[in-house]
A = this chain, B = another copy of it.
Amino acid sequence: MLNRQIVLIARPHGIPQPHHFEMRTADAPAVGPGQILVENVLLSIDPAQRGYVNDESNYTPPVAIGQVMRGLAVGRVVASNHPGFHAGEHVYGWFGWQDYCACGAEAVLRRVQRRQASLPMAAGVLGINGLTAYIAFSELGAPKPGETVVVTAGAGAVGSLVGQLASLAGCRAIAIVGSEEKGRECVEKFSFAGYINYRRPWADALRHECPNGVDVLFDNVGGDLLDGILRCMNPCGRAIICGTVATTSWIPAPTGLRNEREILTRRLRVAGFVIFDHTSKFDAVAEKLAQLLAQGKLRAEVDIETDIERAPQALVDVYAGRNRGKKLICLRD
Measured CB to CB, the nearest residue on chain B to A268 is B272
Q: Which residues of B contact A242 (CB under 8 A)?
A: 264
Q: Which residues of B contact A254 (CB under 8 A)?
A: 257-258
**Contact in complex: B264, A272 (CB < 8 Å):** yes
Instruction: Give Cα A51–Cα B250 distance, bound, in whole angstroms.
Output: 33
Please judge, given known A-B contacts A59-B235, A235-B59, whether A267 and B271 are in contact too, CB under 8 Å.
Answer: yes
> Shortest distance in angstroms between A246's beta carbon and chain B's nearest beta carbon?
9
Asked if A189 CB lies within 8 Å of chain B CBs, one says no
Binding site for B on A (CB under 8 A): 51, 56-59, 219, 222-223, 226, 231, 235-236, 241-244, 247, 250, 253-274, 277
Write 22 A-B pairs (CB below 8 A) sorted by A numbering.
A51-B265, A57-B231, A222-B258, A223-B258, A236-B277, A241-B263, A244-B260, A244-B264, A247-B260, A253-B257, A253-B258, A254-B257, A255-B258, A256-B256, A259-B259, A262-B272, A264-B272, A264-B274, A266-B272, A267-B272, A267-B277, A270-B271
Q: List the 10 shortest-distance A-B pairs measured between CB atoms, nearest first.
A: A222-B260, A264-B272, A263-B272, A270-B270, A267-B272, A256-B258, A241-B264, A269-B271, A241-B263, A255-B255
